[in-house]
Amino acid sequence: MSEVKLIECPRDAMQGRHDFIPTEVKTAYIQQLLGCGFDTLDFGSFVSPKAIPQMRDTARVVAALDLDHTDTKLLAIVANRRGAEAALQFPQIDYLGYPFSVSETFQLRNTNATLADSLERVKQIQELTQKAGKQMVLYLSMGFGNPYGDPWNAEVVEQWLARLAELDIRIFQLSDTIGVSSAASITYLFSNLIPRYPHLEIGAHLHTTPTTWEEKVVAAAEAGCRRFDGAIRGFGGCPMARDELTGNMPTERLVEYFGSELTGVDSHRFAAAMEASGHVFGPLPA
């Protein structure tokens, strides 16, 4: 198996928490994660503080990080042109991530935009991103189905992926926004899309329960996926999921499955980060 890119997502783990995590705590934790050997950290977002109050200090966090001794890249989520302009003020940020839903209902709920409006936002953000010498990461949210009855199948996902790829976007994450993916649907999507678009990097942002993580990882990997999002201990994930045990793919499971050699993750530093996560999110369960 070829090298696997792991993207650690402390932003996703933190953003839904009710109590505000102090800026210095966020910064120290992300600084520690920068030493673990991840390909990328999805570390923060430049969105309305009314919408995501937990991320209102992202600018302060990135300004405080020391990037002199890491090869890990930084990714920030944005939802419109204003957010992109704010993020691009920081040369430390390598990637701008945008959540593009293949479900119109969810796009309206998530970013107050229709799919047509969202496509225009993507065009604007991509133009700004390219001018700055950065890259976009397009999250195809509701990529494995939706609860609204909006059309979903591999052809719908491919239609949007192809259209967005025409904008010279090269990195896509198929996102299981509500935790409905199965081994079968994961195989179905990745085995259809990866061979057809070998010039694109098509990754997985999967949500899972403690008992289903492995079948999902195996299905994606066997279908050719080599880019995986995760969050230490599975924090965050899907507030709309029907199963309260559904959360982000636990990064430790990805490290366990693929190993340090394929992922580049330093096992000792990762273990220390796992321990530190208890100070950020609470103690490990007994």
* Domains parsed from the chain with CATH numbers: 5-281 (3.20.20.70)
Cα(229)–Cα(70) distance, integer angstroms: 19
Least confident of 8-22, 27-41, 71-85, 239-253: 239-253
| Residue 2, pLDDT score | 64
| Residue 192, pLDDT score | 93
Give the pLDDT band (50/70/90) at residue 227: very high
Q: Which residues contact 237 (CB under 8 A, 6 or more apart)?
A: 12, 179, 207, 231, 246, 247, 248
| Residue 246, pLDDT score | 67
Cα(101)–Cα(138) distance, integer angstroms: 10
Instruction: Name the residue with higher pLDDT: 72 or 247.
Output: 72
The tally of CA atoms less than 13 A away on the side-chain side of residue 129 is 29
When pLDDT is averaged across residues 251-256 and rounded to a whole number, the result is 97
What is the token pair recorded at 284? 């490990």
Cα(39)–Cα(3) distance, integer angstroms: 11
Chain-centre distance of CA 156, in angstroms?
Answer: 21
Residue-wise pLDDT for 10-59, tens only, equals 999 999 888 999 999 999 999 999 999 999 999 999 999 998 999 999 99
pLDDT score of 242 more than 70: no
| Residue 241, pLDDT score | 46
When pLDDT is averaged across residues 237-266 and rounded to a whole number, the result is 82
Least confident of 53-57, 163-167, 278-282: 278-282
CA geometry: angle at 268 spanning 264 and 274, to 5°?
95
* Mean of pLDDT over the chain: 93
Please give the single-letter amino acid code of residue 211. Answer: T
| Residue 245, pLDDT score | 55
Instruction: Name the residue with higher pLDDT: 279 or 270.
Output: 270
Residue 149 DSSP code: -
* pTM of the full structure: 0.94
Chain-centre distance of CA 234, in angstroms?
Answer: 13
| Residue 16, pLDDT score | 85
When pLDDT is averaged across residues 100-114 and rounded to a whole number, the result is 87
Please give the single-letter amino acid code of residue 123. Answer: K
When pLDDT is averaged across residues 232-240 and rounded to a whole number, the result is 76
Unique residue bearing structure tokens 């940020």: 93
| Residue 153, pLDDT score | 84
Q: Is 59 exposed, middle or buried (0-12, 13-18, 19+ CB in 10 A)?
A: middle
Share of the chain above pLDDT 90, in %: 80
When pLDDT is averaged across residues 111-139 and rounded to a whole number, the result is 95
Cross-strand partners of 46: 78
Unique residue bearing structure tokens 């604007």: 124
